[in-house]
Amino acid sequence: MKNFYTSILILAITSLACGGKNVPAAATPVCSATSSTVKLEAGVRPFHMGFTRWPSEATLEGIEHMNEFLETHGDLTAMHYDGGIPWPEAFADGEYPEAVMSEWQWAKDSMPANHTLYVAITPLDMSRTSMAEYWGTDTGQPLPKPWDEYQLNHPDVKTAYLNFARRAVDFFQPDYFAIGIEVNVAQAGAPETWTAYKELHQYVYENLKRDYPDLPIFATFTNTHMNGLDGGDREEQKREITELLQYSDLLGLSAYPYGWPYGNKVAITEDFFDTAISFGKPIVITESGMSSAGFEAFGAKYDFTQADQTRWIQFLLEKAAENHFGFVVNFASTDYNKLMEVIPPGEARELATFWLYTGLERSDRCAKESLGIWDAYLNLPFGE
């Protein structure tokens, strides 16, 4: 479901990397008790668990809380970069823009030392249908010439993206590395982009594997398109994804059980992951989430509840244990009502509303019922 971030939210995060405003610590909220009874079918946890570095508010105090939450409630950190590529600098393999390096350094310095690290980059833009924009002084900038006329399989794009991927691996030293995010959206909505992406993906994968043979390198896909929703054709998706998976060590899955394809309901069915499992590749959940409250966006009303989120987290982790997924990422750790306050009205705000309540704690930092289930799995012994 989640095909892209909003540029304004990325802008808020990037600005914090360069020094945001500090505020007095918030008063400790009075939280009502959540259910402590969690029934677990699994005796061990074969998968890592974590979140992205998506803050709930544009303050340094909010960032500090995010860091504490990620360390307490996970053993994996996801670093997800889809705001652009410094194309000309990457092609020259020289010095990168300060905005890129400060963002990378900030994230690297903040990561808990004992966490497994998943890093994702992509040559696709936020719509997943065109070449990624330019990351210069900021993310999402227009492509400079001649890059604005290139296709993803242009020789210079191949060179630049391979250099960028190598630079990211050398800088972060990740345990898992994605070189494309939700790439099957292009298959459904932009066939020419998809054809060019496949050629680029194969080129980058084969070269990276020679340099880093032990690093899991892969692409991520949306569960909705794969299942024939959101404009995807199930049979075409299966055929095209099968071809691409020759050059992917894992199958990364973007899994959301709600959104435009489902209307005002939660689409949790027993066969939710069956298409993904049918490919026979080890699966990792690279991003997921379920709203715990109702909201309105783009003129439609969605009546979700905390019980819906609790049911999703229980289902997701049960399936992860049953099928030995490699890791599970819930995209947001905390609801970001306070971050929404800095987003002006318009399309960006409407889009951001769809994931506003997908954190496992409320914006006042009170735990939701789903966090109890999450922590119960986290506290299981890790291993096969």
The pLDDT, as a whole number, for residue 66 is: 96
Tokens of 327: 């890791």
The bridge status of strand 283-288 relative to strand 251-255 is parallel
Q: Which is more confident, 17 or 281?
A: 281
Q: Which of 347, 335, 254, 343 is nearest to 294 (CA)?
A: 335
Q: Which of 146, 76, 86 is nearest to 121 (CA)?
A: 86
Tokens of 18: 């360069």
C-alpha 265/C-alpha 273 separation (Å) is 18
pLDDT at residue 7 tops 50 = no
Run of H or E residues at 239:
helix 234-244
Q: Which is more confident, 298 or 203?
A: 203
Q: Letter for the amino acid at 27?
A: A
Tokens of 360: 């496992």
Q: Which is more confident, 346 or 237?
A: 237
- pLDDT tens, residue by residue, 57-99: 989 999 999 999 999 999 999 999 999 999 999 999 999 999 9
The pLDDT, as a whole number, for residue 3 is: 40
CA atoms within 13 A on the CB side of 296: 3
C-alpha 328/C-alpha 48 separation (Å) is 6
Q: How confident is the model at residue 285 (pLDDT cuts 50, 70, 90)?
A: very high
> Among residues of the chain, what percentage have pLDDT more than 90?
81
Strands in the chain per DSSP E: 48-52, 76-81, 116-121, 176-178, 217-222, 251-255, 283-288, 295-297, 300-302, 327-330
In terms of C-beta density within 10 A (0-12 exposed, 13-18 middle, 19 or more buried), how is residue 28 classed? exposed
**What is the CB neighbour count within 10 angstroms for residue 328?**
29
All structural domains of the chain: 41-378 (3.20.20.80)
The pLDDT, as a whole number, for residue 29 is: 64
pLDDT at residue 163 tops 80 = yes
CA atoms within 13 A on the CB side of 273: 25
C-alpha 297/C-alpha 295 separation (Å) is 7
Q: Letter for the amino acid at 289?
A: G
Which sign, positive or negative, has the C-alpha torsion 53, 56, 58, 62? negative
C-alpha 244/C-alpha 248 separation (Å) is 7
| φ/ψ (deg, to 5) at 294 | -75, 160
Size of the chain, expressed as the number of residues it contains: 384
Alpha-carbon separation of residue 186 from 25, 66, 252 (angstroms): 44, 32, 16
| φ/ψ (deg, to 5) at 66 | -60, -45
Q: What is the pTM for the complete model shown?
A: 0.93
- pLDDT tens, residue by residue, 242-251: 999 999 999 9
Looking at residues 377-383, what average pLDDT do you find? 95
C-alpha 275/C-alpha 257 separation (Å) is 15
Beta bridge partners of 49: 328
Q: Could you tell me which residues come within 8 angstroms of residue 127 by beta carbon, excluding any fewer than 6 positions away?
A: 3, 4, 185, 189
